[in-house]
Amino acid sequence: MSVCVRDAAQVLRPPSDGLAYLRHDRAGELRLDGGALTAADGRIAAFEADASAAIRVDGSGCAVVPGFVDAHTHLPFAGWRAGEYAQKVAGVPYEQISRAGGGIAASARAFAEATDDAVLAQAQALAGEMLEHGTTTFECKSGYGLSVDAELRALRLAGRLGEQTAQGTTSTALLAHAVPPGHDADSWMDAVEAMLPRVRSRTRAGALDIYVESVAFTNEHLARMGDLAQSSGLALRCHVEQFATHRSVPVALAHGARSVDHLACLHPDDVAPLAAAECAAVLLPGAELLGAEHAAPARALADAGAIAVLATDANPGTSPVVSLPLVIGIAVRRYGWSVREALLAATLNAAWVLGRSDAVGSLEVGKQADFLLLDGPVEHIPYRFGHNPVAAVFVAGHLVHVRPDAAWRIGGTA
């Protein structure tokens, strides 16, 4: 099967091929020239038109960009927590909600009560919504199990979800998300260490994750998780500096973390070391906006040359958001980023966090043909805030979604 998009107004390409990531002080080097793209056998074949392609797409007035990569989601989960949002809008802090039995504990109860089929049905529906908004690769996390068997169940369901969606997925074992009933943080970390052989042998998990916060775990537990990740051959990821400054970033960097996520309360002295490290700063503006959190120092991180990433943080509590175009719009407005900076953060750099930038995240000959046709120039993504700009989605060269009003652009035999 071959596909050709011709006469596109913009085609987003990296400044050179073969980059694993691009530091944000170089985002302005991303190319946005007009032209064409041809894919064959699931891979990008050329940046010129092929009139004999089986599927021919009229790209006039449109942009062609890589499929979006969502590097931080909490799928699969069960149910929603709309009542907590009403509390937060009224000024109740998340920590107070959590200590009263809400937050992660509430989602853990919902997950325990839901059947596997119910969890997967909800996750599949959300994955479909993500696809319509251009997400072609996304991360899944455990973390709502809060017991050994339930965490393994969550990772098993994440693997099944990946088999049932059009998108590519990865799995992260967020084994230290909250302290389960009957444990203190130290004893739960003992349980995490004991379950790791089963995580490695029975699931697709490629990373370990931990949440450092007053209602969760400490920097000492982060250091221990880093040691466990290294000994298990897994990447280290961590939720840090969301509600308060704990100076977790130096600990994460010392243990070779692949990413530090949230960073709304990042200490100013940690900006430069993070920007110099081979560790991504994963920013979650949806959670910041909906949770009335501080904004991460995104402008400072970008200017310092960090490997910056945008993600939805899709979860039932703090960021029930699955649209990366919406997140890009928030980031451009709230962070003062350019559209190129935001697109880099939602494509190539996000793919690197997931260990997938060799295959997806940028438009390069030989890479998997995951790409989007937008209904206008890339500048319209943040400008037309709340509008879904994705007219058509291709995964591995296959047309997997087309908006009804854009169907006239697709010709040939599917």
Model confidence pLDDT, tens digit, residues 79-107: 999 999 999 899 998 889 888 888 999 99
Q: What is the pTM of this model?
A: 0.98
Same domain, 245 and 343: yes
Same domain, 115 and 41: no
Same domain, 347 and 217: yes
Q: Averaged over 388-413, what is the pLDDT?
A: 95
Same domain, 398 and 279: no
The 10 Å Cβ neighbour count of residue 99 is 13
Q: Which residues contact 156 (CB under 8 A, 6 or more apart)?
A: 202, 203
Question: Domain holding 208: CATH number?
Answer: 3.20.20.140
Q: How many CA atoms lie within 13 Å of 381's alpha carbon, on the beta-carbon side? A: 33
Same domain, 294 and 229: yes
Distance in angstroms (rounded) separating the CA atoms of residues 375 and 404: 12
Taking 60 as the threshold, does the pLDDT of residue 371 lie above it? yes
Same domain, 281 and 189: yes
Same domain, 407 and 327: no
User: Residue 179 corresponds to which tokens in the numbers above?
Assistant: 């302290």
Domain boundary among 305, 324, 353: 353
Kind and range of the H or E element at 9?
strand 2-13
Same domain, 390 and 250: no
Same domain, 129 and 96: yes
CB 261 within 8 Å of CB 240: yes
Domain residues for the domain of 168 are 69-353
Q: Averaged over 290-302, what is the pLDDT?
A: 96
Model confidence pLDDT, tens digit, residues 31-67: 999 999 999 999 999 999 999 999 999 999 999 999 9
| Residue 12, strand partner residues | 32
Distance in angstroms (rounded) separating the CA atoms of residues 203 and 401: 29
Domain count for the chain = 2
Model confidence pLDDT, tens digit, residues 243-269: 999 999 999 999 999 999 999 999 999
Same domain, 44 and 188: no
Distance in angstroms (rounded) separating the CA atoms of residues 279 and 273: 10
Taking 60 as the threshold, does the pLDDT of residue 414 lie above it? no
Same domain, 319 and 343: yes
Domain boundary among 329, 353, 377: 353
Same domain, 126 and 233: yes
Q: Using alpha carbons, select from 294, 354, 286, 295 the residue that is nearest to residue 136.
A: 354
Question: Domain holding 22: CATH number?
Answer: 2.30.40.10
Taking 70 as the threshold, does the pLDDT of residue 413 lie above it? no
